[in-house]
Structure 1
Amino acid sequence: SFQVVERRKKSAKPKADPLFKPEYTKINREIIVETTAPSDVNPSEIRTLVNARIQDESCHFISARRTPKDNFILETKFVTPATKAMQYAKEIEEALLTLQVPVAIIRANSKWSKFLIHGIPTTIGEGAEAGQLVASEIRSNYGENFQLAQIPRWISRAETRMEKTHSSMVIALPGQVTMETLGVKFLSLFNRSCHIEAFLPTFPDTQCAKCLEYGHRQEKCKNNGRCGHCAGDHLTSFHPCNQCQGGYRCTHTPIRCLNCKGIHKASDPACPERVKRRFLNKGKENAPPAQDPPAAPAQEPISIIQVPATAPVGATP
């Protein structure tokens, strides 16, 4: 006979109360200075001159650093949010111009919400100059309602716009903004009514949840639906099965990947085609070639027990 003994849980050790408690997180204490061209100025010189122009010592910066894109990040004190230091944006810009830093935008660091603006005239030019013109047009027409988080940029390549009169640009707004909270579907820019919609980035390994092909999202898909379980001509949610309710959670045969023809679901992370595109997404030239799919069995195999997979979704940036 055995006696059931309840295991005693060790009492959790009380966490030490930290002596130093920053009032704001690091990202909430950063001011981003975007530039239009590289600059050789020392970040320490920027911090020194900016602090000399700001009278309120609580808004002085404790560090300044350069980013890989030749922008600059100014970090406030542990008790000062970046939004408070932004009231001295004019003084910051004047100090940067004194050091011959080509300033584009000064903003408090935050999460971005990106949108597409369609119908921008291609005659405005290329690169940062075109982005500056769009940013200036937005500020002129809408003032403080549109605080851009970065310089707008073309969504397509220059060679694809050569024969087009209008194209689309990406804009970024600070904070969590949706089409509902934005409140508009058109912007009046360059004497035109430009349609605006949420920006959904796509990458080589972005997989459509509808047709299961790579390179686009379900929201932009114009193809017929395909099954991620058996590669049939129906959506995965409508996959039929005689042994279960079917749909996404089915684990019974036949199982076939639409892209590589292997015996696995189209959402399998180990799919050779998905692995290949994942390498392309990371910018690696020597991507491994897609392996030949295993030979199909001569007869209908027995049921294979697998871990239920969720519906295929597009990869995130």
Structure 2
Amino acid sequence: DQAWYQVLVNGVSTRVHDVEGLPSGMEILADLNEFSSHKYDWASQPRWLGSANDLEHKTRGSVILAFKSEADALHAIEHSVCVFGQLCSAHRFEDVRRLRTCDNCCGLDHTARICTKPKRCGVCGSNDHTTATHSCDQMECEFYSTSRPAGSHCEHTKLKCPHCKGEHAMRDPKCPVWQRRREALCKPQHKAAKMGGAPKLQRTKSRAAMKDAAKASGSKEQTADTTGDEGEAPAAKPKKRKDNKGKGKETA
């Protein structure tokens, strides 16, 4: 598998002379290759952040660049990127997938449309009803009411998380299970699928990690230069041994 290193470039012009409509990834790539002083090793074509409809009425947008090496990603971040004659800032890009929840069983790995599991409430943990059909046992009490702040509920229901059994409803940011699932979607690194398939989108490496990798790569090159012409290691220094009088003598 091949790692991808992505950066987000902000302030890219969406309207370019001699280009009809929104510039394509191929047109952006051609401009970068022609006018950039640094030769990048690309992992894929650039892509806009957002759809063409989202960018239709905007003069500038953000573009995601994908590199095969950490050194190229770090170079773009530190020196910025020139796109269509404009110097644009570049930053580490995090591509985080949305955490899905099932409205039927409260599962975190699928949606209700394909769910075959028993129903479960994300408010009280009951198996008698779903989250959407939860209601208060108190007469004339609306569990969700327009008289209360958005998203808040009445004080009669005893909350029980269906995941951690804690005293809160599903999707609560404090839920440890919810937190772990979100973190699992942010693990390093972009991995391109074999045989040219689409990559699994996860978090890119941090700027500090990319710097460490670049330094380590430089250290390996220096170590290789210390070998002899034939690739042999330098001759070792002669060792000393002590004679009967305790004086050191050199040995071959």
Bigger radius of gyration among the two: 2
* TM-score between the two structures when normalised by the length of structure 2: 0.42
Relative contact order (C-alpha < 8 Å, sep 6+): which is higher? 2
* TM-score between the two structures when normalised by the length of structure 1: 0.34
